Amino acid sequence: MVELLVEEDNKMPKAMINLTAQPYRMLSKSAAAEYVGLSAARFSAACPVVPLDLANGVKRWDIRDLDAWLDSLKSDTDMSDEALLSRLG
């Protein structure tokens, strides 16, 4: 997170900007869960995105696949509230 305080002179108002940048495309399970706003346990139960197997048994979730999954949840407008909640876990 980067905080920026802008103050030109005493007549200008102060502005604070909080920025968060995702530095990696491939995320660990905990980072992927945090990215989509779920706990790690709920993420495992709800997320259909299959992680990629990297060297030495390391598994990583592609941020683009996670974005596509989240976008698909938004486009399923014909789903009932119960069906949507069950997909989220």
Task: Work out the pLDDT band at 23, boundaries 50, 70, 90.
Answer: confident
pLDDT of residue 79: 63
Specify the fold of 24-88: Multidrug-efflux Transporter Regulator; Chain: A; Domain 2 (1.10.1660)
The count of residues in the chain is 89
DSSP strands (E only) in 7-82: 15-19, 26-27, 52-53, 59-62
Number of separate helices (H) and strands (E) present in the chain? 4, 5
Predicted confidence (pLDDT) per residue in 33-88, tens digit? 999 999 999 999 999 999 999 999 999 999 999 999 999 988 755 666 777 677 77
pLDDT of residue 11: 63
Domain extent listing, the chain:
24-88
pLDDT of residue 28: 96
Rounded to two decimals, the pTM is 0.62
CA distance 35 to 67: 10
